[in-house]
Structure 1
Amino acid sequence: MLTQDVTKELESVLTTLQQQGKEPTVALVRARMSTSVPMAALIAAIKSWKNANRVPKVEIAAKTSGDTDRIHQLEQTIAQLTKRIEQLEQQINGKAQ
């Protein structure tokens, strides 16, 4: 699985909050992050920041182009199946009349 390191971004957000005199909270940090980070990782990073003024390495699963391709294929399949269902319903309704 591919991962994306968000440690530097987290550290930057926490430093900015500290410079602004704000207490870092999960909500404040999450709102300022450009990538979605799991809550458990945010909590651990904030605790480490408060205790040792450092952020542990945080990696999240990176979205791959394969995900985009897979979603597109699934959407096409759904569209084809929906069309087929409509055709079958028309056939059934035509025979019933």
Structure 2
Amino acid sequence: MLTQDVTKELENVLTTLQQQGKEPTVALVKARLSTSIPMAALIAAIKSWKNANRVPKVEVAVKTSTDADRITQLEQTIAQLAKRIEQLEQQINGSAQ
């Protein structure tokens, strides 16, 4: 499973809140993150920040497309392109007459 390290982003959010004089809460931190972090990991990171002023390494799973999803997307793209080609051929044939 692929993971993404979000420790730096989380640390930046917590530092920003501290500089603004705000107490980091789950709601405040979660609202400022661009990546979704599981609640348990978020709570643990905030507790660590409050106790030791450091953020433990936090990684989240990266959502990947399944083969079936990719095939469906490709089929839709092909259908759209085929339709567009037909339209262009009709325009060319219509203007050539």
Same fold (TM over 0.5): yes
The residue identity in structure 2 corresponding to 1:5 is D
SS in 2 for 1:42: helix
TM (norm. structure 2) is 0.69
Give the drift of 1:73: 3.1
Within 5 A, what are the aligned runs for 1:33-52? 33-52=33-52
Distance 1:67 1:10, change over 3 A: farther
| Residues 1:73 and 2:54 are matched in the alignment | no
CA apart distance, 1:51? 0.3
Structural RMSD (CA): 2.1
Distance in 1 of aligned mates of 2:49 and 2:67: 35
- Matched pairs, number: 74
2:86 equivalent in structure 1? none
In 1, the alpha carbon distance for the partners of 2:13 and 2:68 equals: 32
Name stretches of at least 5 consecutive residues in structure 1 with no aligned partner.
77-97
Find the counterpart in structure 2 of residue 79 from structure 1.
none
